[in-house]
Structure 1
Amino acid sequence: MQRQVGELKARKLNRQETLEEERKAKLPANWESRRARAEWELEREHKKKECEKRGEDYNRIQALEVSAENADRWERKRKKKNPDPGFSGECGRSINARRGREKSDTLYPMAHSLRHGTHEPSGEGVDRMVEDLEKQIEKRSKFSRRRRFHDDADIDYINERNANFNRKAARFYGAYTAEIRQNLERGTAV
């Protein structure tokens, strides 16, 4: 008889454990972290209410409870994060586009906000513009375009590529071949 009672208890406990395992299997994968987060938020709200009752600042009390090591670690982590992820999806693009339109409406006048013929330039502004234009004209007159070739120089090339090759060869070997070139031009062989 006791054996049957023991078996019944064992079956009952086994059934309860099986049901508990099934219940846990049906829960989301991040259930434990979500539950811990919810408990932390409830505790935080409770602390806030206690601080309000005592007339204290919750943020200050919270800052006093954080160790210097944790604060330093959180600060380094916060600095590593990029504050502006840019276009991080369709939603981000639409938000940034809307912000851009709002800024452009205030910064740049539109057709409906312009009033033609109402602006009269000041005398100082006109003088500055004239002075700037005169400086530009003077600068242009001093500028001369660099010539690509000299009319007086001997032509020792058949096209631009060959002219470039000859310039490089003269730069590297010109000092060594100067005497040979002079002898060839005079018509005397060495």
Structure 2
Amino acid sequence: MTRRLLPSGESALLVECDGLDEVLALHDALAAERRPGVVELVPAARTVLVAVDPAVLPLESLATWLRRIRVEEAPAATASALGEAVIRVVYDGDDLDETAALLGISPEALVARHLAASWRVAFGGFAPGFGYLVSDDWVFDVPRLGAPRARVPAGSVALAGAFAGVYPRQSPGGWRLIGRTDAVLWDAGRPEPALLAPGRRVRFERASG
């Protein structure tokens, strides 16, 4: 694993990785051996930002830890600490039939594969509460829409590339919509506002319309 450490202000280091698989492995390793003074771990597609309290964990010590941590001995995920989010979905999305046709399967088969996959939140972004979900069980690469929608309703369950996601609020978007959920993805009044925190396991269940 190639790790390039970049300063990010006076209280964080940005770790550049070779790809998303290494980001997930590094995030799990850091979460499993979290040092006193670590304030936040923020994974992205190719990086992990590690924010600290420098009075507790100086950046020099943080850099040494980041270079020495052994990712290959990390647990498969941090799900035991974060728990599992269960999202109930009505599979009636506007793009369900077309997306299935593009992938060469029936809509019913696409829904079944989406339900059967074991998902986890790789990283957050786009909007507060939006999680990019990945799964080793998901073999599809779903093309985005040719022209993004001006308005995607909150709760829309969608696919793009190798990712699944749920729109936490109404917003523009180019992902393909396969269903909808009533789950609240972001609530600033909760102790942990984001339902889909990085590292958390996610399971989709079918709901009736």
TM-score (norm 2): 0.15
TM-score (norm 1): 0.16
When you count strand as a share of all residues, which structure comes out higher? 2
When you count helix as a share of all residues, which structure comes out higher? 1
